[in-house]
Amino acid sequence: QVQLVQSGAEVKKPGASVKVSCKASGYTFSDHYMHWVRQAPGQGPEWMGWVNPKSGGTVYAHKFQGRVTMTRDTSISTAYMELSSLTSDDTALFYCARAGGDPGTFGMDVWGQGTTVTVSS
Amino acid sequence: SYELTQPPSVSVSPGQTASITCSGEGLGDKYVCWYHQKAGQSPALVIYQDNKRPSGIPERFSGSNSGNTATLTISGTQAMDEADYYCQAWDSSHAVFGGGTKLTVL
């Protein structure tokens, strides 16, 4: 079955970086863009951007531009999201989510289980 | 930046119809998706491209989008439908989420 399995929880100090991985299985990895979404405690989802697994091309939300990097390794069907200059506001669940089709029109049809990132001194 | 507005909460009795709205400027000209999120779980897509249901989503879920408002309608609401619901639209290939609506079935 189609699934996305994310890396485990992280605890980071302010100013550090975190890199979260998302391993896809059950479908052709390069056929679907991958989104990343942040959800702070008690808040709604917040879109961070997407990566095109075929080309490596990316589109980032303006809020995260300059601080986020999304990459992929097609040989192991894995997408990555790295966020730098962490602050306490980045304490959140981070999800990868597969684009069901054209990333500008289709929804995010498969979601990972989420990775908790805690930023604390 | 583009914003989507949802009511914080909606209540419905079992078996009745629940309607959750999502408002944004010119929203009818954009594609809208809807997700539900149950406590402790990842969001799940229930409607995409305004009114299409992914496989496995019951027919009681439907969507519409016109003018400045999109609506998610749940007919014959069941206790299992109690969750947070989020609308999401595309603005120049950037995804924007609404603030969410807590659906209570009582």
Residues contacting residue A42 through CB under 8 Å, at least 6 positions apart: none
Q: Cβ of A46 and B97 within 8 Å?
A: yes
- Per-residue confidence band for A104, with pLDDT thresholds at 50, 70 and 90: confident
- Per-residue confidence band for B93, with pLDDT thresholds at 50, 70 and 90: confident
Chain B partners of A107 at a C-beta cutoff of 8 Å? 33, 35, 45, 47-49, 54, 88
Q: What is the mean pLDDT of residues A75-93?
A: 98
Q: Cβ of B49 and A114 within 8 Å?
A: no
The pLDDT of residue A101 is above 90: no
Q: For residue A114, what is the nearest residue in chain B, using CA coordinates?
A: B42
Q: Would you give the distance in Å from CA A42 to the centre of its chain?
A: 19
The pLDDT of residue B47 is above 90: yes
The pLDDT of residue B75 is above 90: yes
Q: For residue B31, what is the nearest residue in chain A, using CA coordinates?
A: A105
Residue in B57, B76, B61 with CA at minimum distance from that of residue B14: B76
Interface of A with B (CB under 8 A): 35, 37, 44-47, 59, 61-62, 95, 97, 100, 103-109, 111-114
The pLDDT of residue A103 is above 90: no
Region of residue A56 (phi > 0: left; psi between -120 and 50: alpha; otherwise: beta): left
Least confident of A6-15, A100-109, B26-35: A100-109
Strand partners, A117: A10, A92
What residues of chain B, 47 to 76, have a C-beta less than 8 Å from chain A?
Answer: 47-49, 54
Q: What is the mean pLDDT of residues A92-112?
A: 93
- Report yes or no: B98 at the A interface, CB cutoff 8 Å: yes
- Per-residue confidence band for B92, with pLDDT thresholds at 50, 70 and 90: confident
C-beta neighbour count of A70 within 10 angstroms:
25
- Per-residue confidence band for B71, with pLDDT thresholds at 50, 70 and 90: very high
Q: Cβ of B43 and A114 within 8 Å?
A: no
Task: Please report which helix (H) or strand (E) contains residue B62, including its range.
Answer: strand B61-66
